[in-house]
Amino acid sequence: MTSFKALYSEKAPQGVKTTLRTLQLTDLPDGEVLIRSKFSSINYKDALGVTGKGKIFRQLPMVGGIDVSSEVIESRDRNFSPGDAVLVTGCGLGEESFGGYSEYVRVPSTSVVQLPNGLSPKEAMQLGTAGFTAALSLWRMQQVQQSPAQGPILITGASGGVGSFAVQIFSQAGFEVWALSGRPELHDYLKELGADRCFTEKELQLGHRPLESVKFGGVIDNVGGELLAKLLPHVQLWGSVASIGLAGGANFQTTVMPFILRGVSLLGVSSNNCTRDTRLEIWKNLSQNWKPSLIESIQNETVGLEEVMDRAEKLLNRQLSGRVLVKF
């Protein structure tokens, strides 16, 4: 019987205990496709889950990791054959069912995407949910006809994984990009990725009135909370704000003024729950014209399963920028 390593999270007196364990294929949940992992990555959500500092796992025990690129070993779905290069992001992976921090993963075929031409397994995980979410934000804005002519796109939390990809993807799409980061030492890095201007929150000089002077054509917001409330009054007529994160808090208080007087759109971006057709379209775009040209600059480092917990803690403590890749 095949045995393999996985980062296993289970209940503990203090909440969640995560350790490197040896599992058997019979320990994996049901699914049509069995895959052997090549790469995964560490997202903010992953870090919250494996450390127990966020209620990410819907049940315990659980194997975290919301991303994985892999090779098909067995399939009961005729759309996939042994040897196929595939990827899985979201779709409950690493939250509802055992995820990518495992040498073997079994998943429903509906969550599996054939690796597009133009992307290697490594590049797919350098992008992962972070790159996918940034691209999904551009797709959502295009749906409401967001245009570079409306003014700069402000990207908050710009030095993180999603933010770094958003800087590059929106820059390549022709937008003027303003990057907001509380780490001034990373502003040169953000400019290398394509940011036209970089700011700290203090430097933006945000107001507190229901409507303020226009500063941005649109916003990609990784932070949420009070900052999101302060940004909305500064958005251009018919501009849009894509809400994709909550590093600064889940709650915010605002007025209807930006929506009813300027027609501002507040767009939700849920990479975990988008339709399969949308998922295929986004990954196709990421393998072609939306593929970040500086993808290697965004990746921070490559680690093994045994190092995931250390990097997860550092990510939550804002000691990392860019992406951390997990190699099997």
Domain parsing of the chain, residue ranges: 3-115+294-327, 129-268
Helix (H) or strand (E) holding 269: none
CA distance 180 to 163: 9
What pLDDT shows up at residue 225?
A: 96
Q: Tokens representing 102?
A: 């495992």
Give residue-wise pLDDT tens across range 103-146: 999 999 999 999 999 999 999 999 999 999 999 999 999 999 99
Mean pLDDT across 33-58: 97
- pLDDT of 290 above 90: yes
Tell me if the pTM is above 0.85. yes
Most confidently predicted of 11-15, 268-272, 296-300, 318-322: 268-272
- pLDDT of 298 above 90: no
Residues 6+ apart with CB under 8 A from 222: 155, 156, 157, 158, 160, 162, 163, 244, 245, 247
- φ, ψ (nearest 5 deg) of residue 243: -95, 115
| Residue entry with tokens 């933006």 | 204
- pLDDT of 154 above 80: yes
End-to-end, the C-alpha distance of the chain in Å comes to 20
What does the CA dihedral 291, 292, 297, 302 come to, rounded to 10 degrees? -30
CB burial of 278-289 (b: ≥16 within 10 Å; e: otherwise) equals ebeebbbbbbee
Contact criterion met (CB below 8 Å) for 43 and 100: no
What pLDDT shows up at residue 80?
A: 98
The residue ranking higher by pLDDT, 14 or 258, is 258
Q: Please tell me the CATH superfamily of domain 3-115+294-327, with its number.
A: Medium-chain alcohol dehydrogenases, catalytic domain (3.90.180.10)
CA distance 155 to 165: 10
Give residue-wise pLDDT tens across range 156-212: 999 988 999 999 999 999 999 999 999 999 999 999 999 999 999 999 999 999 999
Beta strands in the chain (DSSP E): 3-12, 15-24, 33-41, 62-63, 67-75, 85-89, 104-107, 113-114, 153-155, 177-180, 197-199, 216-221, 235-243, 265-268, 299-303, 323-327
Q: Which CATH number fits domain 129-268: 3.40.50.300, 3.40.50.720, 3.40.50.970, 3.30.460.80?
A: 3.40.50.720
CA distance 232 to 239: 10
